[in-house]
Structure 1
């Protein structure tokens, strides 16, 4: 066996031992892993801090003088108008667009026409994940400078060079990939601190999936969202993301309850946004997000949950697909419950879901183009069993602790 092959096998064995995996789950693809490129991608500039939005004009000075600013009705009052006013101070004009709420092809087309008519050379998305995904798509269409201003640390979408596209009714359709990541991601932690605590918890849940999924992709030898295999940097960032969340997650959550900016909140905002964003894109997505996408195949109240809340349950399902100890799985369950996140089918409004419903989710999560295949060789039946198992594990935990 070649020295390089020995190194990879040893690295994977140590990696799996460290994370309670079975070496049998390693894909027999060592030669493929050697041949694949290592790829790491990231935004050009990331800025985070209290009142950071007040300097957006400074960051865009000399880049262009015509922008399109996209935000929904609520976010316009929270931050949108402030962005526009700060741009005016640097003589940068803004076409103000109200986002309609869904990152759909129709909405992307509508706003692209507005951007073209305005002659915009900068597209600024202000708000949550779907607004930001739409802004990235519009910027790609008009070949503009892309600026992302999240108003909550609720997802890891801001830094990525992709968008999740949905139908007008909210059903997942596809991922849209771009040739570059955003040019500027600006996070004002004062605004984040004033957002509902549920949003921060949702972002923590989304970020908690980062290392769980990345380590599965690494062990399996799968490709990342960036197109190659995971770099050392991607792996380190994904792992650090989880460490920060377990260490500071509760303190940050309490900080947002009090609407104050603290070092713990700054750490978690960075983990939710930057570490998770780089970690998922250059580390890899696997089952947790595929199962989230599978849930969009169902009708009902589940669609009122946030992205991160559904990912939280999807993460437990991925853990159920793997070989973990009771202690390790319960560590995640306990953490999620402490932040008010869903851990059972009842929690995600699927208490009365039939076996047919569960199988529908499982089939949607295992379609050929889904990310689950980057970390697993499983069938829809395997996923359906894991969904039921994850629900039972969490119910047993609640019963044991009288929750």
Structure 2
């Protein structure tokens, strides 16, 4: 409101377009407040502009009000813009539940120049979120688990998930350089497409598994709340590779990618340098809640297995950091 929309303030006012700032958390308290605003202003369409939580809040608010929603992401930090589901948190920032809308957003409008002028960390975080898409899609396909629409993945969904991963590896480093210099380049456009479109369609069409459940579990620890969704998802990907006994070369490729673009590879990278085993078990237990996608992985997944996988992922990350010094 105070940056992107400033030049258009008079035009917005002249056309009776009301602007309501987002208060920072996608939670029931905020949704209740916005429901009152929508009713008071007699809104017949809602535009959600901002990052992932602002967008998810707009999607839920519009769904509950039964009005169309237009999504305008100002950062490419998650795959929230295109999807028909949203993550609800507590007012304190802990994962609560997934909310499914009746439809996907009617319009998703992305301006690459706006994305390019946002801090690089947002784009990098979006790559962490998108990094999970292929691995979770593959797990759901192997176990014939349901996708986010209540069906099964198609060849199209799986290929989009694979394309998302391939695009990250091919263009991620160059896109990081471009956004750091606020430049719109082909590489940046490819990564915007991967973060927002390919990942959004990919996860919804093919399903979620370990990485996002581990993210959800990590939100139980307040020390992680200052880290972005995609940063915690990235550590969830590394944990998932340990949990599923991924091929060593594949694991090395993913660690190298995370290191190259600046995604977390250790617990310390997400605020948990001194976390106790007892507290980390709280995250593992939350990751394994009955409704979590982690149960789409093969075999029986338990908190003990997740805890071991998190500790193993952290140990590999720490060892690699020492070797790079």
C-alpha distance 281-86 of structure 1, shift in aligned 2 (>3 A): farther
Q: Which residue of 1 aligns with 2:307?
A: 384
Deviations 1:265-294 (A, max 9, x none): 111100000000000111111010000000
- 1:71 alignment counterpart: none
1:199 aligns with 2:122: yes
Q: Which has the larger radius of gyration?
A: 1
2:229 aligns with 307
Asked if structure 2 preserves the Cα contact closer than 8 Å seen for 1:84 and 1:94, the reply is: no
Q: Is the CA contact (8 Å cut-off) linking 2:221 and 2:279 kept in structure 1?
A: yes
2:282 aligns with 360
1:316-395 matched pairs, under 5 angstroms: 316-376=238-298, 377-395=300-318
Unaligned runs of 5+ in 2: none
Please tell me whether the aligned partners of residues 27 and 88 of structure 2 are also in contact (alpha carbons under 8 angstroms): yes
Deviation, structure 1 residue 334: 1.1
* 1:291 matched to 2:291: no
Contact 1:80 1:126 in 2 (8 A): no
Write the distance in 1 (CA, Å) between the matches of 2:217 and 2:245: 22
Q: 2:136 corresponds to which residue?
A: 213
Sort the Cα spacing of 1:135 and 1:194 in 2 relative to 1 into closer, same or farther, 3 A.
same
Aligned Cα root-mean-square deviation (Å): 1.4
Asked whether 1:259 is paired with 2:182, we answer yes
| Structure 2 residue 159 is matched with structure 1 residue 236 | yes
Q: What's the offset of the Cα at 1:262?
A: 0.7
Residue deviations 1:165-221 (CA, integer Å, cap 9, x gap): 111111111011011000000011000000001111000111011101110111111
CA distance in 2, matches of 1:81, 1:96: 12
Looking at structure 1, the residues matched to 126 and 301 of structure 2 have their Cα atoms a distance apart, in angstroms, of 28
TM-score (norm 1): 0.78
After TM superposition, give the deviation of residue 83 of structure 1 in Å. Answer: 6.7
Q: Contact conserved, 1:211 with 1:239, CA < 8 A, in 2? A: yes
1:247 is the counterpart of 2:170? yes
Cα distance in 1, alignment partners of residues 99 and 270 from structure 2: 27
Distance apart, 1:384 and its partner CA: 0.6
Aligned to 2:107: 184
Q: CA deviation at 1:85?
A: 6.0
Give the secondary structure class of the aligned counterpart of 1:96: coil
**Residues 343, 391 of structure 1: 8 Å contact kept:** yes
Distance 1:84 1:160, change over 3 A: farther
Q: Which moved more, 1:367-376 or 1:385-394?
A: 367-376
Q: CA deviation at 1:92?
A: 4.6
1:1-400 correspondence to structure 2 within 5 Å? 76-81=1-6, 92-300=15-223, 302-376=224-298, 377-400=300-323
**Within 2, Cα distance between the matches of 1:150 and 1:184?**
11
Identify if the C-alpha distance between structure 1 residues 322 and 120 changes in structure 2 by more than 3 Å, giving closer, same or farther: same
Is the 1:79–1:126 Cα contact (8 Å) retained in structure 2? no
Cα distance between partner residues in 2 of 1:361 and 1:297: 6
Distance 2:11 2:264 in 1: 39
Q: Any conservation in 2 of the 1:224–1:374 contact (CA below 8 Å)?
A: no
Aligned length: 324
* Contact 2:244 2:297 (C-alpha < 8 Å) held by counterparts: no
Deviation (angstroms), 1:86: 6.5
Deviation, 1:400, is: 2.6
